[in-house]
Chains A and B, each alone.
Chain A
Amino acid sequence: MIGYVLEVAQAALALVLAPGLVGLIRWMKARLQNRRGAPVLQPYWELGKLFRKEVVVSNNASWLFRATPFIVFASVVAVTFLVPILAVPLPFDGVGDLLVVVYLLLLGTFFLSLAGLDPGSPFGGMGASREMTVAALAEPTVALAIFALALSAGSTNLGQIVARTMADPGAALSPGHLLAFGALFIVTLAETGRLPIDNPATHLELTMIHEAMVLEYSGRYLALIEWAAAVKLLIFFSLLGNLFVPWGVSVTMTPSTLAIAVASLLAKLVVLAGVVAVFETRIAKLRLFRVPELLSASFVLALLAVTSSFLLR
């Protein structure tokens, strides 16, 4: 029973924390760039404002355009039930493994791209085309990183991976793990639309990917999509944090370990947010046609991760 309560609590926590995570990265970036920056809570006010605004839908758009925000949001929230954010093993661990997580997120991307094409605007089409290109090219890296993790854990189920790494702390520092972490970090940047692949701060239509795709959305629909994007970022961060550095994740589910789990989750998120903020301050956006080079670099990292896991078993 406590497990199911924990599942709901974890999903709720992810939903609540996600906009703050985006705000935190923005704030840190601003400080690093000698700007004062908007407060960390700014994304919450933006979401609140969007929820109160009227929706404008294009005359050309179909029901798909109006259903997509819900599909995207539902798929992302479903993932928060599967990913170990606070504790393992979760009761829904058997409902979906890491492959399910990846393909559920692809489901959201798929519909969002379709919705980008629906109003018939060239911006939407451009964003959709680029988003699918990046998503498709990131896919092999994700699969190989999963392979590397599954090799050492003997399972693709998230609870199992976390438990195995906790049982054998040395594994966290094995070359396979480190290389897979590097690969998955690059994929995180690509999948969540961060620099150097996409620039979440730009509103120049020709350079952006995600923002161009959702250009026609407004009001509560836009709020749902922005919120889902924030939750997706949080999911990737907690995957990076909890799969590779699982300490702090609660195994016994007592109040004290859960408190530690929340604290360690916050610490991991802050560290990762800091890393991303530094990254985004230090590097410029890549030209679109150089993104595949970066993704193939991450692919090579992942392939090395698998091979070294194989050889060093």
Chain B
Amino acid sequence: MGSEHLLLAVILAAYLIGALSALGIRGAPGRGLVAGCALVGALAGLGLGAVSLGGGQGSTFAAPFLPLTGLALRIDGLSAFFLIVIGVVGAAVAVYGFGYSAAYEGRHSLGLLGAMLNVLLLSMSVQVMADNALTFLMAWEAMSLSVYVMVLTEHDQPGTIRAAHWYIAFTHAGFAALVAMFLLLSAGDLTTSFAAMRSAPLAHGVRNAAFLLALFGFGAKAGVVPLHVWLPMAHPVAPSHVSALMSGVVIKMGVYGLLRVTIDLLAGGPAWWGGLVLGLGTVSALLGVLYALMEHDLKRLLAFHSVENIGIIFIGIGAGLMFQSYGLTTLATLGIVGGLYHTINHACFKGLLFLGAGSVLHATGTRNMEEMGGLIKRMPRTALFFLVGACAISALPPLNGFVSEWLVFQALLGGSAIPQPEVAVIMPIAVAMLALTSGLAAACFVKAFGITFLAIPRSPEAEHAQEAPLSMQAGMVSLALMCAALGLAPSAVVRVIGAALSGLERFAPAEVGFTLGLPLRVPGAVGEMSPPLLALGLVLLLGLVPLGFWLAGADRRLRFGDTWGCGRIGQTPRMEYTATAFAEPLRRVFAELYRPSRDLSIDFHPESKYFVQSIEYRSEIHPWFERVLYDPLVHVLRTAATWVRRLQGGSVHLYLVYMTVALMVLLTMARWGR
């Protein structure tokens, strides 16, 4: 117990000192203090998560810690797991941020950025430990607002303010839904502890309403389709280490909230809950990757992939909820474990990829992939780390992305245990869409890595790019190692996640059929595999082939020459394949979805139309959702705002009247309500 209290004190103190000192101290010492405090806080959070997962039972923290009454903290398995997620990415981001934010020196408010980074990490840590709705909601709002401030860091860049507006609108719509949801669950008293909420008997309608509100509120934060439109706008414009934190961890708070409410507070529900989450997950996964493919802004591409991966996590959770409603506890656990495994995996590889993209942005000053190229020779380490992340997110064995996708696949295959005809249709389609998603993700990351890092530079900026400073490399290497470790030791990770779920009554995984040891065997003998042996085999074979060459005395001559250009000498970057060209076949295949606008104008020679002077080609894709769903909504809001504006006459007398009337109405209502 003692060590847990100490670690909690360290977390709170480190983040608070970091936040305060950021506002006071300028220059490199300030940045160092911000990074150091965030690092200490994140590592303490990591330690706290590990200690409480090892201890087994959850522990409640006494109130004297907290100056405000009404706040309550408690740590159980689920909170501990998410503390680990925050800690792993937070620590890497803190170190990386020290080097990365140097570029902001003098240009933007560095103090505010550092302070908000610490506030964000603090609020997320408090949030996963919250034991009543009030604490949860306050931490939630602190998290949302600190992200808002950081998104606005580069407010002088075009598009930033618009992105921040979209972000704040969605986050507050979600917040309203969450307040309503908690009011339903706690019967109006937000200081009711979660334990009391668990045991409160609720009518079916109320439970369903609470579930839908939770799905909306947490879905908006997680960026699940169709509530994702803010995500590809807001994530890219933030400073890259903040983007890494947003994509890696902040959207996972939506996953945490959804799990906390659906499988813990509500303890599962009817089959359609799972079906809805599964369906939303499938659509998000597929649309996320399809829009990512068409993106040439490296950070926007990564942001769309966050939508995709949240989709995969939702598929796992949805399948888990569905199995649970049919009483298949082991398979339900398998689904949730797959979802949680993908949560920490995505935190690591997406954090890594955003940090890598940040290094590229730092070196070239652009996010446009069409102006990059050849960076593998100029930034070899960044390239290697980005490649690790790209392989992991494309679910290539033996890295971590593959293991969690394999678990989700196995959960879906287990769906055959449900003797329902509608499940017989849903599960295969989910399997197929998940497979298509992972195939397209691989195609997209061949594009992302190939165009950005390989071949010859497409611009002078890329030509003169420099490797990232050591602190940034350290941040990336820690996450790259995590990707490998999470991929190679799935048995250990599954054991940790099993411990994280052990407090949840209806998902008792005490007797989960995962066989631990080298092979990872899933319940009901659906499948079995062993990533460490697989990795060992691949490494052995990689070594054996050159050895065989050497033994067989194969020719070892190697000559460097020009790339074949059909006889043309002198290759220029204009001959290279571009990102647009790379994605063109898939754009044609999915043209029905994209509906690209095309604008081709050819300028002919006045003498003869066989001589072309210039060709201008412009093609744009407007995401379908913004057109169909949000344009009308924005229109309605604008109209309503014009009406409301009439109230704001500018006269102080008028405002005094409003206040008096409001006060009278409230007093009367309070009197009646008694």
Contact = CB atoms under 8 A, between A and B. Distances in A.
Q: Do A and B come from one complex?
A: yes
Interface of A: 51-60, 62-64, 70-71, 73-75, 77-78, 81, 92-97, 99-100, 103-104, 106-107, 109-110, 113-114, 117-126, 128-130, 132-133, 135-144, 147, 150-151, 154-157, 160, 215-216, 219-220, 224, 288-289, 292, 299, 302-303, 306-307, 310-311
B442 A156 contact: no
B533 A103 contact: no
A136 B439 contact: yes
B533 A58 contact: no
A140 B409 CA distance: 12
B287 to A, nearest CB: 15
20 contacts: A58-B560, A59-B563, A62-B376, A94-B519, A96-B397, A114-B446, A120-B454, A120-B576, A123-B564, A124-B577, A132-B443, A133-B585, A135-B442, A136-B436, A143-B432, A144-B428, A156-B413, A156-B526, A216-B564, A311-B421
B413 A136 contact: no
B583 A307 contact: no
Determine chain B's interface SS by DSSP, over half rule.
helix
**What's the interface size class on B, roughly?**
35 or more
Nearest to B373: A120
Given A104-B534, A307-B424, 19 more contacts: A51-B554, A57-B560, A58-B562, A81-B537, A94-B528, A95-B529, A96-B534, A100-B534, A113-B446, A117-B454, A120-B573, A121-B575, A129-B582, A136-B440, A137-B436, A137-B439, A138-B439, A142-B435, A310-B424
Contacts of A137: 436, 439, 589
Interface in B533-588: 533-534, 537-538, 541-542, 545-546, 549, 552, 554-555, 557-565, 571, 573, 575-577, 581-586, 588
B397 A103 contact: yes
Contacts of A311: 421, 424
A224 B563 CA distance: 20
A159 B456 CA distance: 47
B406 A99 contact: yes
Contact of B530 (A95, A120, A140): A95
B345 to A, nearest CB: 15
Contact of A133 (B377, B438, B561, B586): B586
A139 B410 contact: no
B400 to A, nearest CB: 13
Contacts of A128: 446, 450, 577, 582
B451 interface: yes
Given A57-B558, A113-B446, A143 B538 contact: no
A210 to B, nearest CB: 15
B82 to A, nearest CB: 28
Interface in B238-273: none
B41 to A, nearest CB: 37
Interface of B: 373-374, 376-377, 387, 391, 394-397, 402, 406, 409-410, 413, 416, 421, 424-425, 428-429, 431-436, 438-440, 442-443, 445-447, 449-451, 454-456, 519, 521, 524-530, 533-534, 537-538, 541-542, 545-546, 549, 552, 554-555, 557-565, 571, 573, 575-577, 581-586, 588-589
Contacts of A136: 436, 439-440, 442-443, 586
A147 B413 contact: yes
Contact of A126 (B436, B530, B577): B577
